[in-house]
Structure 1
Amino acid sequence: MIGKILRQRYQIIEQLGQGGFGETYLAEDLDIPAQPKPKCVVKRLQPQVIEPDILRLFEIEAKTLYNLGQNHNQIPKLLAYFEENSELYLIQEFIDGQDLDKELTSEKPLSEGDAIKLLRDILEVLTFVHQNNVIHRDIKPQNLMRCREDGKLMLIDFGAVKQVRTVLATATGQTSRTVSIGTQGYMPSEQALGKPKPSSDVYGVGMTVIQALTGILPHLLLEDKEGEVLWQNHVQVSDALAEIITRMVRYDWRQRYADANEALQAVNKCFVPLRPIKIGDKYGYINTSGKLVIPPQMDDAKEFCEGLAVVKINNKWGYIDSSGKFIIPPLFDLAWGFSPKKLARVLINEKWGYIDTSGKYVIPPQFDFAYWFTDNGLAAIKINAKWGYIDTSGKYVISPQFDDAYWFTEPGLAPVKIDNKWGYIDTSGKFVIPPQFDSTGGFTEQGLAPVKINDKCGYIDTSGKFVIPPQFDFAYWFTEQGLAPAKIDDKWGYINTSGKYVISPQFDDARLFTAQGLARVQINDKWGYIDTSGKYVISTQFDTAELFFEGMALVTIDRQQHYIDKTGGIIY
Structure 2
Amino acid sequence: MIEQILRQRYKILDKLGAGGVGETYIAEDLDIPVSPKPKCVVKRLHPKAIDGDNQRLFQKEAEILYKLGENHDQIPKLFAYFEENGEFFLVQELIEGHNLSEELIQGKPWSEAEVTKLLQEILDVLAFVHQHNVIHRDIKPSNIMRRKSDGKLILIDFGAVKEVGKLKINSDDSTTLTIGIGTFGYMPSEQALGKPKLSSDIYAVGMMAIQALTGISPKQLPEDENGELIWQNHAHVSAELTNIINKMVRYHFNQRYQSAIEVLQEIKPDTVQEFSPSAISALTPVKVEDKWGYKDQNGQLVITPQFDKAGKFAEGMAEVKIGSKWGYIDQSGRVVIKPEFDKVGSFCEGQARVKIGEKCTYIDKTGKILFDEASSFFEGLARVKICDRYGYIDKTIQVVIPPQFDKAWNFSEGLAVVKIGDRYGYIDKTGELVNQPRFDRAWSFSEGIALVRISDKYAYIDKNGELASQLFDEVGSFSEGLATVKINEKWGYIDKTGQLVIQPHFSVASNFCQGKASVELKNKLLGLLPMGDQVGYIDKTGKFISQQSEL
Does the alignment reach a TM-score above 0.5? yes
Could you list the per-position Cα deviations for residues 14-68 of structure 1 after superposition, in whole angstroms to 9, with x for gaps in the alignment? Answer: 3322222222222222221223321211222213275677656644552333222
- Specify the code of the residue in structure 2 equivalent to 1:311: K
CA distance in 2 between counterparts of 1:30 and 1:45 reads 22
Q: Of the candidates 423, 430, 452, which is equivalent to residue 352 of structure 1?
A: 423
Task: Report SS of the residue matched to 1:247.
Answer: helix
Distance (whole Å) between structure 1 residues aligned to residue 88 and residue 59 of structure 2: 10
**Aligned CA distance change for structure 1 residues 70 and 33 (closer, same or farther; 3 Å):** same
> Structure 1 residues 54, 292: CA separation in 2 closer, same or farther (over 3 Å shift)?
same
| Distance change >3 Å, CA 361–CA 230, structure 1 → 2 | farther
1:130-185 deviations in whole A, cap 9, x for unaligned? 3434321101122122333344332210137999xxxxxxxxxxxx9895321111
Deviation of 1:316 after TM superposition, in Å, equals 4.8
Is contact 2:248–2:256 with CA below 8 Å preserved after alignment? yes
Q: Tell me what 2:454 maps to.
A: 381
Mapping 1:426-465, distance limit 5 Å? 427-430=486-489
Quick one: structure 1 residues 234 and 248, their matched pair in 2 at CA, closer, same or farther if it must change by over 3 Å?
A: same
Distance in 2, Cα, partners of 1:85 & 1:72: 33
Number of the residue aligned with 1:72: 72
Letter in 2 for 1:428: I
Whether the 8 Å contact between 1:339 and 1:372 is mirrored in structure 2 is no
Q: Paired residue for 2:83?
A: 83
Find the counterpart in structure 1 of residue 436 from structure 2: 364
Report the 3-state secondary structure (helix = DSSP H, G, I; strand = E; otherwise coil) of the residue aligned with 2:122: helix
Equivalent residue for 1:203? Answer: 203
* Partner Cα separation in structure 1 for residue 385 and residue 154 of structure 2: 36
Alignment of 1:172-571 (within 5 A): 180-235=180-235, 241-258=241-258, 262-265=259-262, 267-268=264-265, 271-273=268-270, 286-287=355-356, 293=362, 296=369, 309=383, 311=385, 313=387, 316-318=389-391, 326=399, 328-332=401-405, 334-335=406-407, 337=409, 344=417, 346-347=419-420, 352-355=423-426, 358=429, 364-366=436-438, 370-371=440-441, 380-382=453-455, 387-391=456-460, 395=467, 397-398=470-471, 427-430=486-489
8 Å CA contact 1:287, 1:293 repeated in 2: no
**Inter-CA distance 286–364: structure 2 relative to 1 (3 Å threshold):** same
Give the whole-Å Cα distance in 2 for the aligned partners of 1:160 and 1:352.
Answer: 54
CA distance in 1, matches of 2:130, 2:120: 15
1:107 pairs with 2:108: yes
Mapped partners of 1:29, 1:44: distance in 2: 16
CA contact (8 A) 1:310 1:335 kept: no
Give 5+ residue unaligned stretches, structure 2. 164-175, 273-339, 341-352, 445-449, 478-484, 492-521, 523-551
CA RMSD, aligned part only? 4.8
- One-letter identity of the residue aligned with 2:29: D
Cα deviation digits, residues 63-85 of structure 1 (max 9, x gap):
33322222333221111223345
Q: Is the 8 A contact 2:3 2:12 kept in 1?
A: yes
Q: Is the 8 A contact 2:147 2:153 kept in 1?
A: yes
Cα deviation code 1:268-316 (max 9, x no counterpart)? 26732369xxx9xxxx972569986456566x76988989657354x75
Q: If the length of structure 2 is used for normalisation, what is the TM-score?
A: 0.55
**Pair 1:236–1:55, CA change in 2 (3 A):** closer
Is the contact made by 2:393 and 2:400 (CA closer than 8 Å) also made in structure 1? Answer: yes
Conserved? CA contact 2:247–2:257, under 8 Å: yes
Gaps of 5+ in 1: 164-175, 400-406, 412-425, 433-462, 464-572
Residue in structure 2 matched with residue 558 of structure 1 by the alignment: none
Deviation of the 1:364 alpha carbon:
3.4
**Any idea what SS the aligned residue of 2:48 has?**
coil
> Contact 1:65/1:159 (CA < 8 Å) preserved in 2?
no
Q: 1:357 to 1:160 in 2, by over 3 A?
A: same
Q: Structure 2: which amino acid aligns with 1:141? A: P
Say whether the 8 Å CA contact 1:318–1:330 is kept in structure 2.
yes
The alignment partner of 2:128 has SS state of helix
Q: Structure 1 59/186 Cα, relative in aligned 2: closer, same or farther at 3 Å? A: closer
Q: Distance in 2 between matches of 1:134 and 1:267?
A: 18
